[in-house]
Amino acid sequence: MKHYESVIIGHITEDINIDHEDNTVHICGGAVLYSSASAHALGHKVAAVTKLSENDSARLAKFTLPQEDIFVRTCEKSTTIRNKYYTADKERRDCVCLSRGTPFTLSDLPDDISGDIYHFAGLIFGDYPDEMLRACAEKGAIAVDVQGFLRHADEKTGEMFFEDWKQKRELLPLISYLKTDAAEAEILTGTSDRAEAAKILHSWGAKEILITHNTEVLAYDGENLYTCPIKARNLSGRTGRGDTTFAAYLTERLHSDVKTALQVATATVSLKMETPGPLQCTRADVEAYISQFYGEGAAQ
Protein backbone atom coordinates (compact mmCIF):
# COMPACT_ATOMS: atom_id res chain seq x y z
CA MET A 1 0.00 0.00 0.00
CA LYS A 2 1.46 3.34 -1.08
CA HIS A 3 0.61 6.19 1.28
CA TYR A 4 0.26 9.87 0.40
CA GLU A 5 -0.29 12.99 2.44
CA SER A 6 -3.06 13.96 0.01
CA VAL A 7 -4.89 12.12 -2.75
CA ILE A 8 -6.22 14.79 -5.12
CA ILE A 9 -9.16 13.76 -7.30
CA GLY A 10 -10.29 15.82 -10.29
CA HIS A 11 -10.37 16.42 -14.02
CA ILE A 12 -7.47 18.00 -15.89
CA THR A 13 -8.95 20.32 -18.50
CA GLU A 14 -8.18 22.16 -21.66
CA ASP A 15 -8.95 25.79 -20.85
CA ILE A 16 -9.59 28.22 -23.66
CA ASN A 17 -8.93 31.57 -21.99
CA ILE A 18 -9.97 34.83 -23.64
CA ASP A 19 -8.72 37.90 -21.81
CA HIS A 20 -10.34 41.34 -21.54
CA GLU A 21 -8.55 42.41 -24.74
CA ASP A 22 -9.85 39.32 -26.63
CA ASN A 23 -6.50 37.55 -26.72
CA THR A 24 -7.01 33.76 -26.73
CA VAL A 25 -4.73 31.19 -25.09
CA HIS A 26 -5.21 27.40 -24.89
CA ILE A 27 -3.73 25.93 -21.72
CA CYS A 28 -4.19 22.87 -19.55
CA GLY A 29 -5.96 23.60 -16.29
CA GLY A 30 -8.17 22.10 -13.66
CA ALA A 31 -7.97 22.11 -9.88
CA VAL A 32 -6.17 18.76 -9.82
CA LEU A 33 -3.32 20.19 -11.89
CA TYR A 34 -2.79 23.40 -9.91
CA SER A 35 -3.38 21.74 -6.54
CA SER A 36 -0.95 18.89 -7.07
CA ALA A 37 1.73 21.28 -8.34
CA SER A 38 1.39 23.46 -5.27
CA ALA A 39 1.68 20.68 -2.70
CA HIS A 40 4.50 19.02 -4.64
CA ALA A 41 6.48 22.27 -4.83
CA LEU A 42 6.36 22.51 -1.04
CA GLY A 43 7.83 19.02 -0.77
CA HIS A 44 4.70 17.08 0.12
CA LYS A 45 3.94 13.59 -1.13
CA VAL A 46 0.69 13.77 -3.10
CA ALA A 47 -1.13 11.70 -5.71
CA ALA A 48 -3.32 12.92 -8.56
CA VAL A 49 -6.27 10.82 -9.68
CA THR A 50 -7.78 12.01 -12.96
CA LYS A 51 -9.92 10.84 -15.90
CA LEU A 52 -9.23 11.48 -19.57
CA SER A 53 -10.24 10.39 -23.01
CA GLU A 54 -7.43 8.53 -24.76
CA ASN A 55 -7.31 11.33 -27.34
CA ASP A 56 -6.37 13.84 -24.62
CA SER A 57 -3.52 11.94 -22.97
CA ALA A 58 -1.05 14.69 -23.94
CA ARG A 59 -2.50 16.79 -21.12
CA LEU A 60 -0.77 14.55 -18.59
CA ALA A 61 2.58 16.10 -19.49
CA LYS A 62 1.48 19.28 -17.70
CA PHE A 63 1.56 17.63 -14.28
CA THR A 64 4.63 18.48 -12.22
CA LEU A 65 4.30 15.28 -10.18
CA PRO A 66 6.45 12.20 -10.78
CA GLN A 67 4.68 9.93 -13.26
CA GLU A 68 4.37 7.19 -10.64
CA ASP A 69 2.13 9.47 -8.57
CA ILE A 70 -0.36 10.18 -11.39
CA PHE A 71 -3.23 7.72 -11.65
CA VAL A 72 -5.26 7.98 -14.85
CA ARG A 73 -8.61 6.42 -15.60
CA THR A 74 -9.52 6.26 -19.28
CA CYS A 75 -13.02 7.50 -19.99
CA GLU A 76 -15.26 8.58 -22.86
CA LYS A 77 -15.02 12.36 -22.41
CA SER A 78 -12.55 14.87 -20.99
CA THR A 79 -13.39 18.35 -19.71
CA THR A 80 -12.91 21.42 -21.89
CA ILE A 81 -13.92 24.89 -20.66
CA ARG A 82 -13.93 28.30 -22.36
CA ASN A 83 -13.35 31.24 -20.02
CA LYS A 84 -14.04 34.81 -21.13
CA TYR A 85 -12.50 37.38 -18.76
CA TYR A 86 -13.87 40.92 -18.71
CA THR A 87 -11.32 42.66 -16.49
CA ALA A 88 -7.54 42.73 -16.27
CA ASP A 89 -7.60 41.23 -12.76
CA LYS A 90 -9.64 38.25 -14.09
CA GLU A 91 -12.15 38.56 -11.25
CA ARG A 92 -15.15 38.69 -13.62
CA ARG A 93 -15.67 36.00 -16.23
CA ASP A 94 -18.18 33.89 -18.13
CA CYS A 95 -17.53 30.17 -18.51
CA VAL A 96 -18.87 27.66 -21.01
CA CYS A 97 -18.32 23.93 -20.68
CA LEU A 98 -17.57 22.68 -24.19
CA SER A 99 -17.08 19.07 -23.08
CA ARG A 100 -18.03 17.49 -19.77
CA GLY A 101 -15.65 14.92 -18.30
CA THR A 102 -17.03 11.56 -17.25
CA PRO A 103 -17.89 11.73 -13.51
CA PHE A 104 -15.74 9.96 -10.94
CA THR A 105 -16.84 6.93 -8.98
CA LEU A 106 -15.36 5.28 -5.91
CA SER A 107 -13.92 2.54 -8.13
CA ASP A 108 -11.67 5.15 -9.79
CA LEU A 109 -9.54 5.27 -6.64
CA PRO A 110 -6.66 2.78 -6.87
CA ASP A 111 -6.92 -0.03 -4.35
CA ASP A 112 -3.22 0.12 -3.48
CA ILE A 113 -2.97 3.74 -2.33
CA SER A 114 -4.17 5.60 0.77
CA GLY A 115 -4.07 9.19 1.96
CA ASP A 116 -4.18 11.30 5.09
CA ILE A 117 -6.46 13.63 3.10
CA TYR A 118 -8.81 12.94 0.19
CA HIS A 119 -9.03 16.21 -1.71
CA PHE A 120 -12.04 16.62 -4.02
CA ALA A 121 -10.77 19.13 -6.58
CA GLY A 122 -13.94 19.35 -8.64
CA LEU A 123 -14.96 21.66 -11.44
CA ILE A 124 -18.66 21.03 -12.04
CA PHE A 125 -21.56 19.76 -9.95
CA GLY A 126 -21.89 16.03 -10.54
CA ASP A 127 -18.16 15.32 -10.79
CA TYR A 128 -18.59 13.08 -7.73
CA PRO A 129 -21.50 11.09 -6.28
CA ASP A 130 -22.32 11.82 -2.65
CA GLU A 131 -21.49 8.27 -1.65
CA MET A 132 -17.89 8.81 -2.77
CA LEU A 133 -17.46 11.53 -0.14
CA ARG A 134 -19.01 9.33 2.50
CA ALA A 135 -16.74 6.40 1.65
CA CYS A 136 -13.58 8.51 1.63
CA ALA A 137 -14.53 10.08 4.96
CA GLU A 138 -14.05 6.62 6.44
CA LYS A 139 -10.54 6.42 4.94
CA GLY A 140 -9.12 9.81 5.99
CA ALA A 141 -9.85 13.53 6.24
CA ILE A 142 -12.04 15.01 3.51
CA ALA A 143 -11.11 18.27 1.75
CA VAL A 144 -13.62 19.87 -0.62
CA ASP A 145 -13.26 22.74 -3.05
CA VAL A 146 -16.88 23.84 -3.11
CA GLN A 147 -16.65 25.02 -6.73
CA GLY A 148 -17.30 21.43 -7.78
CA PHE A 149 -20.57 21.43 -5.86
CA LEU A 150 -21.90 24.90 -6.74
CA ARG A 151 -20.94 25.33 -10.39
CA HIS A 152 -23.33 23.78 -12.90
CA ALA A 153 -23.23 23.42 -16.69
CA ASP A 154 -26.38 23.81 -18.74
CA GLU A 155 -26.98 20.50 -20.51
CA LYS A 156 -27.85 22.18 -23.84
CA THR A 157 -25.67 25.30 -24.04
CA GLY A 158 -22.83 24.40 -21.71
CA GLU A 159 -23.15 27.80 -20.03
CA MET A 160 -21.92 27.58 -16.47
CA PHE A 161 -23.73 29.05 -13.52
CA PHE A 162 -23.68 28.85 -9.74
CA GLU A 163 -26.43 27.79 -7.39
CA ASP A 164 -26.60 26.73 -3.77
CA TRP A 165 -25.58 23.22 -2.73
CA LYS A 166 -28.77 21.40 -1.78
CA GLN A 167 -26.91 18.70 0.15
CA LYS A 168 -24.71 21.12 2.12
CA ARG A 169 -26.30 20.52 5.54
CA GLU A 170 -26.08 16.76 5.00
CA LEU A 171 -22.50 16.62 3.70
CA LEU A 172 -20.66 19.50 5.41
CA PRO A 173 -20.27 17.49 8.64
CA LEU A 174 -18.13 15.01 6.69
CA ILE A 175 -15.69 17.71 5.59
CA SER A 176 -12.51 18.44 7.53
CA TYR A 177 -11.35 21.21 5.18
CA LEU A 178 -13.70 23.35 3.07
CA LYS A 179 -12.48 25.91 0.53
CA THR A 180 -14.62 28.62 -1.06
CA ASP A 181 -13.96 31.95 -2.68
CA ALA A 182 -15.79 35.06 -1.48
CA ALA A 183 -18.61 34.77 -4.04
CA GLU A 184 -19.15 31.06 -3.31
CA ALA A 185 -19.24 31.73 0.42
CA GLU A 186 -22.02 34.25 -0.14
CA ILE A 187 -24.01 31.77 -2.25
CA LEU A 188 -23.74 29.17 0.50
CA THR A 189 -24.51 31.42 3.47
CA GLY A 190 -26.28 34.52 2.13
CA THR A 191 -23.75 36.93 3.64
CA SER A 192 -20.96 38.89 1.96
CA ASP A 193 -19.11 39.14 5.28
CA ARG A 194 -16.40 36.52 4.83
CA ALA A 195 -15.70 36.10 8.54
CA GLU A 196 -19.38 35.60 9.28
CA ALA A 197 -19.71 33.18 6.35
CA ALA A 198 -16.83 31.10 7.72
CA LYS A 199 -18.51 30.90 11.12
CA ILE A 200 -21.82 29.85 9.56
CA LEU A 201 -20.16 27.12 7.50
CA HIS A 202 -18.40 25.84 10.60
CA SER A 203 -21.68 25.82 12.52
CA TRP A 204 -23.10 23.60 9.77
CA GLY A 205 -20.40 21.01 10.34
CA ALA A 206 -17.26 21.76 8.30
CA LYS A 207 -14.23 21.62 10.61
CA GLU A 208 -11.94 24.21 8.99
CA ILE A 209 -12.89 26.86 6.46
CA LEU A 210 -10.61 28.57 3.95
CA ILE A 211 -12.02 31.55 2.00
CA THR A 212 -9.97 33.14 -0.78
CA HIS A 213 -10.31 36.74 -1.95
CA ASN A 214 -8.27 38.89 -4.30
CA THR A 215 -6.77 40.75 -1.32
CA GLU A 216 -6.32 38.02 1.29
CA VAL A 217 -6.97 34.47 2.42
CA LEU A 218 -9.06 33.75 5.54
CA ALA A 219 -8.92 30.63 7.70
CA TYR A 220 -11.26 29.65 10.53
CA ASP A 221 -11.10 26.55 12.73
CA GLY A 222 -14.09 27.18 14.99
CA GLU A 223 -12.03 29.00 17.62
CA ASN A 224 -9.74 31.46 15.90
CA LEU A 225 -10.05 33.40 12.68
CA TYR A 226 -6.93 34.39 10.77
CA THR A 227 -6.29 36.38 7.60
CA CYS A 228 -3.15 36.80 5.52
CA PRO A 229 -2.67 39.29 2.65
CA ILE A 230 -1.91 38.28 -0.93
CA LYS A 231 1.23 40.11 -2.09
CA ALA A 232 1.59 39.05 -5.72
CA ARG A 233 3.44 41.68 -7.74
CA ASN A 234 1.45 40.92 -10.89
CA LEU A 235 -1.57 38.82 -11.86
CA SER A 236 -0.29 37.04 -14.97
CA GLY A 237 -0.75 33.70 -13.21
CA ARG A 238 -4.13 34.47 -11.60
CA THR A 239 -5.74 31.27 -12.95
CA GLY A 240 -5.43 28.53 -10.33
CA ARG A 241 -5.32 30.91 -7.35
CA GLY A 242 -7.75 29.03 -5.13
CA ASP A 243 -6.45 25.58 -6.08
CA THR A 244 -2.86 26.54 -5.31
CA THR A 245 -3.84 28.05 -1.97
CA PHE A 246 -5.99 25.16 -0.81
CA ALA A 247 -3.55 22.36 -1.56
CA ALA A 248 -0.70 24.25 0.08
CA TYR A 249 -2.82 24.88 3.17
CA LEU A 250 -4.03 21.28 3.42
CA THR A 251 -0.66 19.64 3.27
CA GLU A 252 0.95 22.23 5.54
CA ARG A 253 -1.81 21.65 8.12
CA LEU A 254 -0.63 18.08 8.51
CA HIS A 255 2.52 19.49 10.11
CA SER A 256 1.70 23.03 11.29
CA ASP A 257 -0.92 25.06 13.11
CA VAL A 258 -3.58 27.06 11.25
CA LYS A 259 -1.74 30.37 11.37
CA THR A 260 1.53 28.96 10.05
CA ALA A 261 -0.16 26.93 7.32
CA LEU A 262 -2.13 29.99 6.22
CA GLN A 263 0.99 32.11 5.84
CA VAL A 264 2.80 29.44 3.84
CA ALA A 265 -0.26 28.91 1.60
CA THR A 266 -0.76 32.64 0.99
CA ALA A 267 2.89 33.20 0.18
CA THR A 268 2.80 30.17 -2.12
CA VAL A 269 -0.15 31.50 -4.10
CA SER A 270 1.31 35.02 -4.19
CA LEU A 271 4.44 33.61 -5.82
CA LYS A 272 2.41 31.41 -8.17
CA MET A 273 0.21 34.30 -9.35
CA GLU A 274 3.26 36.04 -10.80
CA THR A 275 3.72 33.33 -13.46
CA PRO A 276 1.10 31.59 -15.65
CA GLY A 277 0.60 27.85 -15.30
CA PRO A 278 0.96 25.44 -12.39
CA LEU A 279 3.50 26.38 -9.73
CA GLN A 280 7.05 25.28 -10.43
CA CYS A 281 9.42 26.15 -7.63
CA THR A 282 10.96 24.70 -4.48
CA ARG A 283 10.08 25.12 -0.84
CA ALA A 284 13.18 27.27 -0.49
CA ASP A 285 11.71 29.68 -3.06
CA VAL A 286 8.53 30.01 -1.01
CA GLU A 287 10.49 30.50 2.19
CA ALA A 288 12.56 33.22 0.51
CA TYR A 289 9.33 34.89 -0.65
CA ILE A 290 8.01 34.83 2.92
CA SER A 291 11.23 36.35 4.20
CA GLN A 292 11.19 39.10 1.57
CA PHE A 293 7.52 40.09 1.54
CA TYR A 294 5.92 38.91 4.77
CA GLY A 295 8.38 39.17 7.61
CA GLU A 296 6.95 38.46 11.04
CA GLY A 297 3.29 38.19 11.87
CA ALA A 298 1.84 38.32 8.37
CA ALA A 299 -1.10 36.11 9.30
CA GLN A 300 -3.30 37.90 11.85
Percent of the chain with pLDDT over 70: 98
Q: What is the pLDDT of residues 5-59, one digit of tens each?
A: 999 999 999 999 898 899 998 989 999 999 999 999 999 999 999 999 999 999 9
Q: Global pTM?
A: 0.94
β-bridge pairing 93-99 and 113-120 = unpaired
Q: At what angle do helices 258-272 and 31-41 cross, to 10 degrees?
A: 110
48 and 34 in contact (C-beta within 8 Å)?
Answer: no
**CA 45/CA 65 separation, integer angstroms:** 9
Sequence-distant (6+) residues with CB within 8 A of 257 are none
Q: What is the pLDDT of residues 54-102, one digit of tens each?
A: 999 999 999 999 999 999 999 999 999 998 988 887 777 889 999 999 9
For 183, the 3-state DSSP assignment is helix
Angle, vertex CA 295, rays to CA 291 and CA 297, nearest 5: 140
Task: Kindly calculate the radius of gyration of the chain based on its CA atoms and give it in whole angstroms.
Answer: 18
For 82, the 3-state DSSP assignment is strand
CATH class held by domain 2-293: alpha beta
Q: Which of 81, 61, 82 is nearest to 70 (CA)?
A: 61
Q: How confident is the model at residue 295 (pLDDT cuts 50, 70, 90)?
A: confident
151 and 123 in contact (C-beta within 8 Å)?
Answer: yes
Q: What is the pLDDT of residues 184-232, one digit of tens each?
A: 999 999 999 999 999 999 999 999 999 999 999 999 999 999 999 999 9
What letter represents residue 179's amino acid? K
**CA 105/CA 57 separation, integer angstroms:** 20
**CA 57/CA 55 separation, integer angstroms:** 6
- Residue 155: CB atoms within 10 A of its CB come to 8
